[in-house]
């Protein structure tokens, strides 16, 4: 349970799945934001996730209920609330480079899971950590092993089959089965079963 206290989970997903596993929010960096909160596009007021969720699941456009102006001139804003996620063409969060950069130099193991590594700049993270750091890819297939499938990157990311490779390891297969196998090999199996009840029936069925 203490493992994640000194680790960072970096995700391009916006569904907050990492938080649902019990990883503290401060240890999860959501590069593309999430539905955790929303911001009014007019007055920039914040809306928490419970209010945002209610609007989304009711099929309605979330509207700001904040009051603009003062005194007799005050009025309900009614601006559109945009979830705090990064849309195509928008800039990444201002703290992205700072937060990720602070951890890259300290990284002693990088685990990459379930990705094509085709979207930047997140796909460049494996090439910014110390060159001696082990890198484990858990995926259905190998990715970014040649310039052809690296989407504008100058060099491949992984060198699994290179004769001088000492850091890159590929674990093929679906993520659920692979992580269960890895958990057993690391001696964390009993602990995972212990906390699985907190993660819901779906996880219990996998175990």
Catalytic entry in 32, 44, 73, 162: 32
Is there a catalytic annotation at residue 32?
A: yes
Beta-carbon count within 10 A of 203 CB: 17
Nearest partner of 104 among 10, 33, 174, 34, judged by Cα: 10
Nearest partner of 95 among 156, 33, 157, 185, judged by Cα: 33
Instruction: Enumerate the active-site residues.
Output: 32
């Amino acid at each position: 349970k203490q493992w994640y206290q000194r680790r960072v989970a970096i995700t391009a997903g916006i569904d907050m799945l990492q938080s649902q596993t019990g990883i503290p929010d401060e240890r999860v960096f959501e590069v593309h934001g999430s539905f955790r909160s929303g911001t009014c596009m007019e007055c920039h007021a914040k809306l928490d996730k419970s209010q945002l969720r209610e609007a989304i699941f009711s099929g309605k456009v979330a509207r700001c209920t904040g009051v603009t102006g003062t005194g007799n001139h005050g009025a309900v804003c009614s601006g559109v609330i945009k979830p705090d996620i990064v849309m195509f063409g928008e800039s990444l969060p201002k703290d992205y480079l700072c937060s990720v950069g602070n951890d890259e130099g300290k990284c002693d193991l990088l685990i990459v899971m379930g990705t094509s590594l085709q979207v930047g700049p997140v796909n460049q993270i494996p090439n910014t950590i110390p060159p001696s750091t082990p890198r484990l890819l858990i995926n259905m297939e190998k990715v970014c092993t040649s310039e052809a499938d690296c989407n504008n990157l100058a060099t491949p990311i992984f060198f699994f089959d290179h004769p001088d490779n000492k850091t890159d390891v590929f674990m093929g297969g679906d993520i659920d089965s692979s992580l269960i196998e890895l958990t057993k090999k690391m001696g964390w199996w009993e602990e995972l079963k212990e906390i699985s009840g907190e993660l819901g029936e779906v996880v219990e069925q996998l175990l």
